[in-house]
């Protein structure tokens, strides 16, 4: 293992730069050349690679986004596209690949490994939707961004005695809504993993108003439905004024939290260590506060489960 390539793929997440930095500096420390791949798998197919040095990753640990940029690439899902990518890796003399991204990016790394090329995955996604790891890079920063927004929205919500529905990212995984809802004191959390009843929600809002509560916060994961539509239904059924706020891509940006910087640095170094040990088809994660690695096939096969304890706690604390 003399030359390593690193790419970021899929949706960007705060902390990706810290992971890139760790891969580059750990690789160089261990005597390897490290190449960056611009624009994920798209750049791999197009041969958009460049050699990185220590200064390439200077002053980036605190920056959000990814200096390597990211792009979705349908061509890589084809055998022809993957063959092109593998040929580019061989032309550049790359011996191992580190992929930073979510489940779609990991599926790409899995295919590369099946073609006989060493690949290691690092979980970089704000959704926290990879079941094998307790946390993904970017999730903690996003939580803090959402909680800050909740605090600001609460100020105006209480002034006007409104219900505020805050829609956050999470098409299939509701962790952003769940954890930010608990930390932000939401009355209701609506996520893809749990059924909900509009009439029960309206009943809870009416009861809260009758006992003197001046405002309520509802956290809604985007995979369940639209905040504006729910706002209109609440107004219709209860007469309580409500407002919908869609946080959108503000959730992806911002300087990564200390926690995201730390785990990204640890995971980046671990990925290089695995390649140097001759291992392939592995993903890095964190479990019980320990950095772990696992077979990529096994990791992707693990079924993600809702943290029912936290979900129930929100209901208890919002009475």
- Known binding residue 187? Answer is yes
Residue 14 near residue 142 (C-beta atoms within 8 A): yes
- Known binding residue 260? Answer is no
Does residue 129 have an active-site annotation?
no
- Known binding residue 24? Answer is yes
Residue 204 near residue 174 (C-beta atoms within 8 A): no
Which among 23, 58, 54 has a CA at the least distance from the CA of 37?
Answer: 23
- Known binding residue 261? Answer is no
- Known binding residue 251? Answer is yes
- Known binding residue 304? Answer is no
- Known binding residue 16? Answer is no
Region for 274 from its dihedrals, namely left if φ exceeds 0, alpha if ψ lies in -120 to 50, beta otherwise: alpha
- Known binding residue 11? Answer is yes
User: How many helices (H) and strands (E) would you count in the chain?
Assistant: 11, 11
- Known binding residue 170? Answer is yes
Residue 105 near residue 117 (C-beta atoms within 8 A): no
Task: Single out the catalytic residue among 127, 140, 175, 260.
Answer: 127
Distances (CA, A) of 209 to 202, 212, 219, 238, 272: 11, 5, 18, 10, 56
Q: Binding site for Mg(2+), residues? A: 103
Which residue numbers are catalytic? 127
Q: Binding site for substrate, residues? A: 125-127, 162, 169-171, 222, 243, 249-252
Q: Binding site, residues? A: 11, 21-25, 72-73, 102-105, 125-127, 154, 162, 169-171, 185-187, 211, 213-215, 222, 243, 249-252
Q: Binding site for ATP, residues? A: 11, 72-73, 102-105
């Amino acid at each position: 293992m003399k030359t390593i390539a690193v790419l970021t793929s899929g949706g960007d997440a705060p902390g990706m730069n810290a992971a890139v930095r760790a891969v580059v500096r750990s690789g160089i420390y261990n005597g390897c050349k490290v190449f960056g791949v611009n624009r994920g798998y798209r750049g791999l197919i197009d041969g958009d690679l460049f050699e990185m040095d220590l200064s390439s990753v200077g002053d980036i640990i605190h920056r959000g986004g990814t200096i390597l940029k990211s792009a979705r690439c349908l061509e890589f899902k084809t055998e022809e596209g993957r063959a092109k990518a593998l040929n580019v890796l061989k032309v550049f003399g790359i011996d191992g690949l580190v992929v930073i991204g979510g489940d779609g990016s990991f599926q790409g790394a899995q295919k590369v490994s099946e073609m006989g090329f060493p690949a290691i995955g690092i979980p970089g996604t704000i959704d926290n939707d990879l079941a094998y790891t307790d946390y993904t890079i970017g999730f903690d920063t996003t939580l803090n961004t959402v909680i800050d927004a909740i605090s600001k929205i609460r100020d105006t919500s209480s002034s006007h005695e409104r219900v505020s529905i805050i829609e956050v990212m999470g098409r299939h995984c509701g962790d952003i809504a769940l954890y930010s809802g608990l930390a932000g004191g939401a009355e209701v959390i609506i996520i893809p993993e749990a059924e909900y009843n509009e009439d029960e929600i309206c009943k809870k809002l009416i009861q809260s108003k009758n006992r003197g509560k001046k405002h309520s916060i509802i956290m809604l994961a985007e995979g369940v439905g639209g905040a504006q539509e729910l706002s209109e239904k609440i107004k219709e059924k209860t007469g309580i004024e409500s407002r919908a706020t869609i946080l959108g891509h503000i959730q992806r940006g911002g300087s990564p939290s200390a926690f995201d910087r730390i785990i990204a640095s640890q995971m980046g170094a671990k990925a290089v260590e695995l390649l140097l040990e001759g291992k392939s088809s592995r993903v890095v994660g964190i479990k019980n506060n320990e950095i772990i690695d696992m077979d990529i096939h096994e990791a992707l096969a693990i079924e993600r489960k809702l943290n029912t304890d936290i979900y129930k706690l929100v209901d208890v604390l919002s009475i």
